[in-house]
Chain A
Amino acid sequence: MKKLISIVFLLYVAYQLFVVFYAVPFGTDEVRSKVGRFYLEHSPKDLHVANTVTSIVVNFRGFDTLGEVTVLFLASTALGSILFRRREVHTRLSHLRTSVEASSIVRVAGRILFPLIVLLGAYVFIHGHLTPGGGFQGGVIIATGFLFLLLAYRQFTVEHRTIMWIESLAGITFAGIGLVGIFVGKTFLENFLGVGRLNDLISGGIIPLIYIAVGFKVAAELTGILDTILSISITVDETENQTEKNG
């Protein structure tokens, strides 16, 4: 009975989705939105950016993106400030990540795949204005590479001082590019460089610069968060073991 109900429900949902999407003929511009059409027309024509999403995120709504980056920074700082104190008590034990080391297959694969993952991440954020992707996505890909190393090697730790420097420099670069816009005589975060040719690697004005900064920032922040979380789970385990031994 339960199965029958769920199948009927799924069929109903599928029918409704079909009705909605059938109303929009495939490949036509039936959704009448002036804002959307404005972006689609002006992004390749005025800014010479092939990826419209990027041109919206960085150029038309650059200030909003600065806010998003700040939110991410605040989240990672808050997480660090909550979890870091317990970490310092057991700094001596924090290099013991798990009780069992990862198998040799995973360790060898980590050594081979890590550079490839970082390369992919860098590719994604450098080509943010040309292909789908951008600073946030590329940064997350690089952070997954570091997660791989953290899981594969027990001894591997991330230097939090370096991460702090990278994060701060990237943030300053982002805000600095915006301020240069004011000094040149335009508004905050407005494009002040030449836009180049459509589909060239060096084109799109300030978009590649900002996305490189965002990529570094996101990668550093997420790596720091991952390292903090992983070291916490160990210190808790270690203290439990110690109390067992003492008791």
Chain B
Amino acid sequence: MEQVLTYLGYILIVIGAIFLFLGGLGIVRLPDIYSRLQAGTKASTLGAMSLILGVGFLNPAWLVKSLVIVIFIALSNPISSHALARGSYRHNIKPWSKEDIDAYRQYLKEEGQKEREEEAKQTENKD
């Protein structure tokens, strides 16, 4: 049983190291902030989670602690990347793309229209 846990821990650590490396490579190689955030968050979240979980498997006394850290990373890392991406979009940083596909702009337009309609309704009610 302990042997299995040890091997599982080493496999997880290797997977984590590979993904962390890919995340670092992506931050250097990708063209704009959005794709870099994707590399920096997706790859490094999985990398860090599996690395820490692997350490927990290698040393079962730390397993609970490492699980808590894994949950915290799963909660906080995607949120920070979401906030960064949203903030940079709101500050008019254009996404890099060859085709002009921008689903978020479409969504914002629809939202803005809804808000304007609601405001119009409210002012009508007030009158």
Contact = CB atoms under 8 A, between A and B. Distances in A.
B82 interface: yes
A113 B75 contact: yes
Nearest to B83: A106
Contacts, number: 20
Contacts of A151: 83
Contacts of A102: 83
A229 to B, nearest CB: 17
Contacts of B90: 100
Interface in B74-127: 75-76, 79, 82-83, 86, 90
Contacts of B75: 109, 112-113
Nearest to B82: A105
B82 A106 contact: yes
B10 to A, nearest CB: 22
B66 to A, nearest CB: 15
A116 interface: yes
A103 B85 CA distance: 11
A100 B83 CA distance: 12
Contacts of B82: 103, 105-106
A109 B79 CA distance: 7
A175 to B, nearest CB: 36
B3 to A, nearest CB: 28
Interface of B: 72, 75-76, 79, 82-83, 86, 90
Interface of A: 100, 102-103, 105-106, 109, 112-113, 116, 151
